[in-house]
């Protein structure tokens, strides 16, 4: 039991700092974005579970046997058994764990409310400015909105009342194959609810202190989400129309809460379309690593803790 808490704490620190930093610099993830995204999710979830595991392991140390042999939470008896310095350290670590849990709940709610409020405001705006009846508009989907601007713009607003927002410049700059690629890309975001994945990572990122979290993790995950949508568009139109659409809409900037086609990673995404598919073993290794990161440490550290807790409860 004395080993469980520091092991959990070390796992939480490693999985929120060094591991995300190293993975965000890897380039093999671009070739297997789905497997890489699963790996990212496993790392984030394992970090959260490890942080809670450390706090629970500390809490179990505070359960000292009482006069009848049963575990007690009396501070006086805990201090007598552990000593003031060790008892204080355990209480502080447990309080920090509770704080991380509270911050995770708070940031999850805050990120969700903030994002949905922005989307609702922007959705109302694009509905008011909609020019779907424009002569250049070549789509009649009920959730597509057209803005009166010559710059090529393409992004989507996920949610129950979803929207795909295009500009008149997008229609005049792109041919039909490229336009289909754009719509396939944005529909992939909406169908797969990539926005929920980004919300989860944003909440976890903001919940942990700045000195341990990796700032590059969010950017890496956002790129993988775009690569997944690119792959969906390629299956619909092929790589060439999508590459042309990406180059045309490279300067398109999506508002906060939206998922856009363009951005600073456009060149990397276009170059990726010309690279051969990755060997299947890379994805298999990524999936197996996800399972190992999430399951193996948890079992190795949690089982001794559960056995000790059961012994205390039965004593």
Q: What is the pLDDT along the chain (315 residues), one digit of tens a residue?
A: 556 677 777 888 888 888 888 898 888 999 999 999 999 999 988 888 887 777 777 777 676 555 555 656 666 766 766 677 777 777 777 787 788 788 889 999 999 999 999 999 999 999 999 998 888 888 878 889 999 999 999 999 998 899 999 999 999 999 999 999 999 999 999 999 999 999 988 888 887 777 666 667 888 999 999 999 999 999 999 999 999 999 999 988 888 889 989 888 999 999 999 888 888 999 999 999 999 988 877 776 666 666 666 666 665
Task: Confirm whether pTM is higher than 0.75.
Answer: yes
- Of the candidates 19, 17, 6, 1, the residue with the CA atom closest to the CA atom of residue 292: 19
Contact, 273 vs 243, CB < 8 A?
yes
């Amino acid at each position: 039991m004395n080993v469980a808490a520091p092991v959990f704490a070390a796992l939480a620190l490693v999985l929120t700092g060094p591991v995300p930093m190293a993975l965000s610099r890897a380039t093999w993830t671009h070739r297997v974005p789905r497997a890489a995204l699963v790996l990212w999710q496993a790392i984030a979830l394992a970090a959260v579970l490890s942080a809670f595991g450390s706090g629970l392991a500390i809490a179990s140390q505070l359960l000292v046997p009482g006069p009848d042999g049963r575990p007690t939470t009396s501070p006086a008896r805990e201090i007598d058994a552990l000593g003031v310095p060790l008892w204080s350290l355990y209480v502080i670590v447990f309080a920090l764990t509770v704080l991380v849990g509270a911050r995770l709940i708070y940031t999850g709610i805050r990120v969700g409310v903030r994002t949905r409020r922005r989307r609702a405001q922007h959705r109302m705006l694009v509905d008011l400015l909609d020019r779907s009846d424009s002569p250049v508009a070549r789509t009649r989907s009920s959730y597509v909105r057209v803005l009166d601007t010559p710059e090529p713009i393409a992004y989507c607003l996920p949610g129950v009342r979803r929207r795909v927002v295009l500009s008149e410049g997008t229609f005049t700059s792109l041919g039909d194959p490229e336009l289909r690629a754009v719509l396939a890309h944005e529909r992939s975001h909406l169908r797969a609810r990539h926005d929920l994945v980004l919300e989860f990572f944003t909440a976890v990122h903001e919940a942990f202190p700045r000195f341990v979290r990796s700032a590059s993790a969010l950017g890496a995950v956002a790129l993988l989400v775009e690569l997944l949508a690119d792959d969906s568009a390629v299956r619909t139109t092929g790589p060439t129309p999508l590459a042309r659409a990406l180059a045309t809409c490279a300067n398109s900037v999506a508002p906060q809460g939206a998922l856009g086609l363009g951005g600073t990673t456009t060149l990397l995404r276009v170059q990726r379309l010309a690279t051969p598919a990755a060997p299947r073993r890379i994805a298999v290794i990524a999936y197996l690593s996800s399972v190992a990161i999430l399951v193996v440490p948890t079992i190795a550290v949690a089982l001794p803790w559960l056995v000790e807790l059961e012994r205390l409860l039965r004593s």
